Structure 1
Amino acid sequence: MSIPLLGYAPKTINARIDGYEVGSDDQPKIFTAENLLSPGDMGNLIEAAYRQIFFHVFKSDREPFLESQLRSGQLTVRDFIRGLLLSDTYKRTFYGFNSNYRFVEQCVQRVLGRDVYGEAEKISWSIIVASKGLEAFIDALLDSEEYLDNFGFDTVPYQRRRVLPGRDIGEVPFNVQSPRYDAYYRKVFGFPSGTWTGVVRRYTPGDQKPKVGDPALYMDMVRSMRRRAITGSPTSASNVDMSKVPYRKTA
């Protein structure tokens, strides 16, 4: 007997806040099949779907059969999204290289357009993945009232809110802050780290650079020279033997 979806308390996060919106680069661009005017518009919608689910799609990751069905009207946008989520690429690189908890978080962000409500929601959906399988989990997300109310059958999912009133900069997009591989596999695959080990170079404006003959040009050379050791005792006027001091006789 499979375990039903456990209850979890929604939290007041960006996606649940209504407010006056001012257009900016942080506002999502909505791609929907309801008002497509040309084949180019359908191409843009397909690319938006790939970006939402994969972030970046390589040629080998594309699903030409699903694209053809979508262009010909045999699939809805929702069906196309389902096909991408159940594709070999998504199952291999997202599901195969992440724990169930992180996989659930990635799917909720990409499919429902919001962050998870907390550990309780992660656990709840992870039980569905473990007990019913990946396909049942994806269907439960796409059949949910939340998905249908916000995106329906013809709109590509998007991050519903990235900006709160009073904030200058929006949140980082979900498909950027949650990459395909977790930290363990990024280390195994040799992904570059964020630690800079190169030489830090400073830019000096031309009018501030030393000119020819400026002593500053020779400071490095002077600093590199070794100081000569001083031998013997210092000489002062009080201990000078005047008989040994040469002098010129006058006639």
Structure 2
Amino acid sequence: MSIPLLTYTPSTQNQRVNGFEAGSDEQPKIYSTENLLSSTDMNVLIEVAYRQIFFHAFISDREPFLESQLRNGQITVRDFVRGLLLSDTYKKSFYNLNNNYRFVEHCVQRVLGRDIYSEREKLAWGVIVASKGLQGFIDELLDSEEYLENFGYNTLPYQRRRVLPGRSKGELPFNIKSPRYNEYHRAQLGFPQIIWQNVVRSYIPQEKKIKPGDPANYLAMVQGISSAKGNPPPRVSAMNIDIASSVPYRKIETDQLVTTR
């Protein structure tokens, strides 16, 4: 017997406040199959869906079967999001690398487009993951009244209400605000690491770099030759020269003198 979703009280957050500000670059862009005009628009919607759920999808991470069904109108955008959440890529990248509570936080941000209200809500959804499993949790999240009221069947989920009138900048995107790995797995993988550089390298623009054959290359060599000085001869005074000891002479023995006489 599965445990029903526990009750939790929503807190006042940005996505629950009606907006009256003018549009800007930070306002979320809504993608829906109800206003697609060409196949190019469908390609953009699929790419945005991968960024919303996976943050980035390589070629091996894509789901061509789900893409084909969505292009042909066999499934809705909600079914496409469900397939991405139940894919092997999402399991390996999020479900296997986080505990249930952090996995709930990731899913609520990507599916409902908001932050977790409180620890009570995180605990409530964590019980659903433990009792109904991954697929039961995803189904209940996509079938919730909040998801259907904000996104329905044909609108892609997005981060709601990033901008408030009282702030100069909006909230950080969920992909930057919540890293994919939790603290334990980041420590196991050895990142992030802060590497300090002891030597600061100066940048020289390309136009200021000396090219081969430039006379400036030989300036240092010429300056070195002109400043080079030979060893000066030692200075010896004539008064300090001992001529008697310096000039060699031959000694004659007395025995030799007697013999010759």
Q: TM-score range by the shorter chain?
A: 0.7 to 0.9
Corresponding position of 1:48: 48
1:183 aligns with 2:183: yes
Q: CA deviation at 1:204?
A: 9.5
Summarize the alignment of residues 1-251 of structure 1 with structure 2, pairs less than 5 Å apart: 1-193=1-193, 195-199=194-198, 201=200
Gaps of 5+ in 2: 206-261
Larger radius of gyration: 2
Separation of aligned partners in 2, 1:204 and 1:92: 42
Runs of 4+ that moved beyond 4 A? 202-206
Normalization by structure 1: what TM-score? 0.78
Give how far 1:164 is off: 1.4
The number of equivalent residue pairs is 205
170-179 vs 27-36, which moves further: 170-179
1:148-176 superposed Cα distances (whole Å, 9 cap, x missing partner): 11001111100011111210111111122
Cα deviation 1:37-94 (Å, max 9, x = unaligned): 1111000000110011011111111111101110111110000000000000101110
Q: Which amino acid aligns with 1:79?
A: D
Rounded to whole Å, the distance in 2 between the matches of 1:108 and 1:29 is: 19
- CA distance in 1 between counterparts of 2:199 and 2:158 reads 39
For the Cα contact (< 8 Å) 1:30–1:156, is it kept in 2?
yes
Aligned partners of 1:55 and 1:176 also within 8 Å: no
CA distance 1:51–1:200, shift in 2 (3 Å): farther
Moved more, 167-176 or 78-87: 167-176
Moved more, 181-190 or 85-94: 181-190
* Aligned partners of 1:54 and 1:175 also within 8 Å: no
3-state SS of 2:167 partner: coil
Give 1:190 deviation, angstroms.
3.4
Contact (CA 8 Å) 1:15, 1:114: kept in 2 or not? yes
Distance (whole Å) between structure 2 residues aligned to residue 164 and residue 24 of structure 1? 12
**Could you tell me which amino acid in structure 1 is paired with residue 63 of structure 2?**
E
Structure 1 residue 203: Cα displacement: 7.0
Percent sequence identity is: 68
| Contact 1:50 1:56 (C-alpha < 8 Å) held by counterparts | yes
Structure 1 CA distance for aligned equivalents of residues 198 and 45 of structure 2: 43
Offset of residue 3 of structure 1: 1.2
TM-aligned CA distance change 1:97 to 1:204, over 3 Å:
closer
Q: TM-score when scaled to structure 2? A: 0.75
1:141 is displaced (CA, Å) by 0.8
Give the Cα separation in 2 of the matches to 1:197 and 1:158.
Answer: 37
Superposition deviation, residue 196 in structure 1: 4.0
